[in-house]
Structure formats: C-alpha cells, structure tokens
Structure 1
Amino acid sequence: MPHSAWPVDPGVILPFLIAVALIELTPGPNMGWLAMVSLTRGRMAGAAAVGGVTLGLAVWMLASAFGLTQVLLTWPWLYQTIRWAGVAFLFWLAWDAWKSPGAGDAVSEDAPRRDLGQAFVRGLAGNLLNPKAAVFYVALLPTFIRPDHAGALVQALTLGTLHLLVALMVHGLIVLGAAGAGARLLTDAKGPWLRAGSALGIVAVALWMAWETRG
C-alpha cells in the first residue's frame, strides 16, 4: 500500500510514540498529582483522576488541532493567566486536603461515588489549567505532519489520539504503583498526619507546576 494512502506517514509513528512516551515518563505535575491521589485515596480514585486528566488532554488536543491554542503563543498574558490559575487551583486542593475530614481516612478501594466524581473533575480542571499541555501539541504535532498524506487536521487528530493512549497507559501504571505503595505504607497512618502529608505533597506539585510552566 503506498504511503499516501495512510492518514499519517507510517515512518513517523514509531518516532512519535517514542517521543510522547519519553515526555509522559518525564516527572511532571500530572504524574505527581496522580501519585498523591492514588497514595492517599486508593486505586479507584486514582483511576477516576486519570479519566479527568485524559479528558483534559483531549480538549487541549482538539483545540490545538483546530488552531485554537495558537492564541497562547500570540497572547502571552493568556498563557500566564491559565498558568497561575492552575497553580492557584493546586494550592486550593492542598488546603482542601488538609481541612477535609475525609482526606485523612485510611486508603480504601471502596471510595464513595462522590469521591470518584470529585477526583475526575479535579483531574480535568487541573489539566485544563495547565497551558503546557497546549504548548506541547502546538510545538510537537506539526513536526510529524507530512504534506503528502491526509489533511493536517486528520493527521493531528490521529497523532493526538495516539498520544492520549500512551498517556492513559503511563498514568494508569502510575496509579497502580502509587496505590499499591499507599496500601502498604499508609495503612497505619492517622488522619491528621495523612492530611498533612497529602496537603504538603500537593503543595510540592503546585510549586513543580509553577516551575515547569514558566516561559
């Protein structure tokens, strides 16, 4: 089959997968926050958070494919506004983790449905308030698009979907690993100590995000 019949150049698929896998495996705010949620709230809450993060990535991917995220490069003040809103959101999550009585409970896989919905929404909001996700698509996707294949939009959506699958797998492994560690290490943790540890962990993620997204 001639390459022109493929929506994307088959020759770019493996390099693209390697690139996005290395990016996702590089420690970052998403990884840190998902690990904290899974450590303190268990595997189900971590999985719900992964769902929110993945949906947030999908929104940024679609926005980039349709050219909407270019405004972040055109208007740096908008990038900075989203950036600091994301940092502020993480600080609020840290405060909420400290003051909420339920945040200090022992790790449980039988998390109430409300907690799972909360983890999903927070994962979604946290990722939508991370402008580096948009810049990632703006900077990376065009380098793998070839003119002799499908239209740029189709190629961007195809490659973006591959990235979402890689991110989902990496984040899922983080959740499984962190939840397993949490079950072993935090079984005897008391409420106030667990709340303090969770809050401090999220503060560290917030500072990490502020550093990672500086531009």
Structure 2
Amino acid sequence: MIDWTAITTVLSVYVVGVVLPGPNFVAVAHKAASTTTREALALVGGVVVVNLFWASCSILGIGIVFATFPWIALAVKVIGASYLIWFGGRLIFKAGSTSAARTSSEGRSLGEAFRTGVATNIANPKSMAFYAAVFAAAAPKHVSGPTFVGMLATVAVVAAAWYGVVALVFATPSVAARYRRGKAWMDRVCGAMIVALGIRQLVR
C-alpha cells in the first residue's frame, strides 16, 4: 500500500531543496549555454541518477550511518568540496579559451556530459547534507516497497523537470548568444560561484 502522506511530505521538502541554486544549477546552466541542448540534458540525466542514489541512501538510513561514523561524513564533505573548488577553478582558468572545436563524437560528448553531471552532484556536499538531514527527516522510518518507489519517482520527476527547464532556458538562442558574447567573464562568474560554494561547504 502506498503512503501518499509520506510521498506528499517528501515532495514538498524536495521541491524546496532542488530549486535552491547550487553547483548543479550552475553546471547545468553553463553546459546549456556553452554547448548543446542534448549535452545539457545528458548532464541533467547524470544529476537525476545521483539524486536517486542519495534519496535511496537517505530512505534506507544514511543519516544514521553518518551519525554513527562522523568521519565518513567529514571525508565525503572534504572530497566533495575539493572537487567543486577544482571544477570551478578549471572554469576560471579556461575562461575565454578559443580552443578548436571538439574532435570527439557526439556520443562521447553526451557521455562526458552525463559523467560531469554525476561527478558534480555526487561530490556536492549540499546534496549530501540535504539528503542526510532534511530529506531523511521528511521520509518515514519504515516504508513499503510501493511507497519507496513512489518517493524515488517523485525525486526523479521533480529533478528532471526542474533541471530540464533550466537546460532548455539557457540553451535558447538568445541566452546562448549572450553567453558567447560574454564567454570569458561568464565562465569566470560561474567558476567563482562554484569555488565559493565549495569553500563555503568546506568551512561550515
């Protein structure tokens, strides 16, 4: 039997958590404006997959694991924040690059975009903290199989819809054209935002 009250509670909490700007938002927006819609949506696919992973861990009790072994939470936090700082720094360093067009095939480009989405989200301490604390508190202690599936479906639909809209908006010709005109400073702004988010998570 499906516990609709639990699913509704998770939905209300997750919607608020997913729309708050963070590394995922910046990564999707940057990919959409700088490459193609297909690559941006592939990155969104990676983000959604990791959201499902974190949601599953949360429902199954990742908060308890982190509370029992705080060093695991600390290690994930440090590694994740370090990745964000590296990722943002790379954007800043390569800002304004006029390198030649890609030589990789479209399939490889889509695969790389998907892996970027996975790496950015799984290394995001904000996601870890949200699922370990807020999401875990909203989810009931014990759920039936159908309720578990319903919660994961809720996460998948909300994440795909939100980041999909972000990708489509930033991939529109007008937005992409503005990006190309100001590529150097926009790359620096995006990189600086990601670095700042990484530092913020590291020192909290």
With the length of structure 2 as denominator, give the TM-score of the two structures: 0.77
Amino-acid identity (%)? 22
1:198 to 187, 192, 196: 187
1:80 to 74, 78, 99: 74
2:168 to 147, 155, 176: 176
User: Which aligned runs of 4 or more in structure 1 are off by greater than 4 angstroms?
Assistant: 98-108, 212-215
Specify the structure having the higher radius of gyration (Cα): 1
* Structure 2 gaps, min length 5: none
In structure 2, the CA distance between the partners of 1:23 and 1:66, relative to structure 1 (3 Å rule), is closer
1:125 to 99, 119, 134: 119
Determine helix, strand or coil for the equivalent of 2:171.
helix
1:110-121 equivalence runs, <5 A = 112-121=106-115
Aligned to 1:3: none
1:48-67 equivalence runs, <5 A = 48-67=42-61
In structure 2, the CA distance between the partners of 1:67 and 1:103, relative to structure 1 (3 Å rule), is farther
1:1-215 equivalence runs, <5 A = 6-8=1-3, 10-97=4-91, 104=98, 112-139=106-133, 140-145=135-140, 151=144, 154-180=146-172, 181-188=174-181, 194-195=183-184, 197-211=186-200, 215=204
CA distance, structure 1, for counterparts of residue 92 and residue 127 of structure 2: 28
CA deviations over 1:16-54 (Å, ceiling 9, x no partner): 323322221222221122112212223222111111111
In structure 2, the CA distance between the partners of 1:19 and 1:38, relative to structure 1 (3 Å rule), is same
With the length of structure 1 as denominator, give the TM-score of the two structures: 0.74
CA root-mean-square deviation: 3.3
CA distance, structure 1, for counterparts of residue 136 and residue 69 of structure 2: 20
CA distance, structure 2, for counterparts of residue 195 and residue 117 of structure 1: 25
- TM-aligned CA deviation for residue 162 of structure 1: 0.8
* Structure 1 gaps, min length 5: 1-5
Query: Bigger CA drift: 169-178 or 195-204?
Result: 195-204
